Amino acid sequence: MKLFEKILIANRGEIALRILRACKELNIKTVAVHSTADENCKHVRLADESVCIGPASSKDSYLKMSSILSAAEITGADAIHPGFGFLSENATFAQMVEEHGITFIGPTPQHITMMGDKITAKKTMIELGVPVVPGTEGAVTVDNAIEWANKVGYPVLIKATSGGGGKGMKVATSDDEVVNAVRMAGLEAKANFGNDEVYMERYLRKPRHIEIQVVGDTHGNVANLGERDCSIQRRHQKVWEEAPSPALTNDQRTKLGSIVNQAIKKMGYRGAGTLEFLFEDGEFFFMEMNTRIQVEHPVTEMVTGIDLVKEQIMVAAGHPLSFSQEDIKITGHAIECRINAEDPQTFTPSPGKITSYHTPGGFGIRVDSHVYDGYVVPPHYDSMIAKLIVHGKTREEAMQRVRRSLDEYVIDGISTTIPLHRILVDNPDMRSGDYDIHWLEKFLAKEA
């Protein structure tokens, strides 16, 4: 069975470079689309062809469907890989791509729609036998907020039905707070996602964020590649991820993996996806499903030896999975530190020119980044500029390798979050793995 002749990469930065490298190893030609601000990006320079699709603003370039589709038509691309962010979970875009006779490297538009709405996703998972956080059955309003909050039980979390990344999320602990929390969450959701619908669920006090990587093909095969622990977060944005989770027992991960596999198989899911759970007191509660490759996918690749981006491409071309569930063996421990162009204390974005750049190396080290010495970090996009990923035979070895790598990593000319990671890797709670999703914000509040 053939692969694609040419893939258009509808993204930027390190994920665009990651996709390009996978394509090159599969002997597939590449097209890089870019804004005027990204003409000097590394993946643009390395691609077989490049097309400028608009000015720096995302809405006029990376989010402009017509420009991306025109670029695909002009260059003769027979597939589009959306990466993560931008249009990766836009069902309309996926449908338009397919209607133009081009393959969308991702799940079906139907599955994107199903999982894109948090209420629909939750109902679907209940029907598939996946445990969920107790909450409302549909959207909640200021008129019924108090009634629902008392049914669910305080504290409650109000969340946008569309979107993610912590936008449109508010916590309420009493009747006095809940109406305003619903109103504020709705306004924030409208501003960020164009949809002011919110729903409510019980707020767990000290959960961990555990997610399961899944892959399915068009031949009915599904598999999960184990879990990732993404509990170290600031304002619902992940900062540090690791695999496997130091909090789970083998019995717990096996049980959750079995439940997830059954659900994904019943859905008939195609491509890579991630089911995200809250884990507290030995119980798992489904939060949402991301129907795309995740930022933190490298830690899974490091402990399984499976190239997830290549697998996405192969599955989209109609090939069966290159492995079965029985083939998956978790080996060692992997940790990812997200390196952002931000002040490590205030987290204020720090765009500008990188005057010196040196990456760490050695056994078990991987750096996913699109930046280089002399690169100018633009102010228009997400501030993540690199991911430091390490692998060790044990978690302790991986932690030591993180410390050593951070000491070698040099990025001058701008501020980065490398100093924060240097502090985290030596913290006793981090060393022991004793943390939850609120740990980092509490730690930062103490340090302030």
**Active-site residue set:** 292
Q: How far apart are alpha carbons 22 and 24 in whole angstroms?
A: 5
Q: For residue 359, give the nearest of 306, 392, 419, 404 by alpha carbon.
A: 404
Q: How far apart are alpha carbons 273 and 215 in whole angstroms?
A: 6
Q: Is 38 helix (H, G, I), strand (E, B) or coil?
A: helix
Q: For residue 278, give the nearest of 206, 344, 213, 335 by alpha carbon.
A: 206
Q: Is 125 helix (H, G, I), strand (E, B) or coil?
A: helix
Tokens 């930027």 found at: 12
273 strand-pairing partners: 214
Residue count of the chain: 448
Locate 37 and state its tokens: 């601000």
Q: Is 421 helix (H, G, I), strand (E, B) or coil?
A: helix
CB atoms under 10 Å from CB of 250, counted, come to 9
Q: For residue 214, give the nearest of 205, 206, 223 by alpha carbon.
A: 223
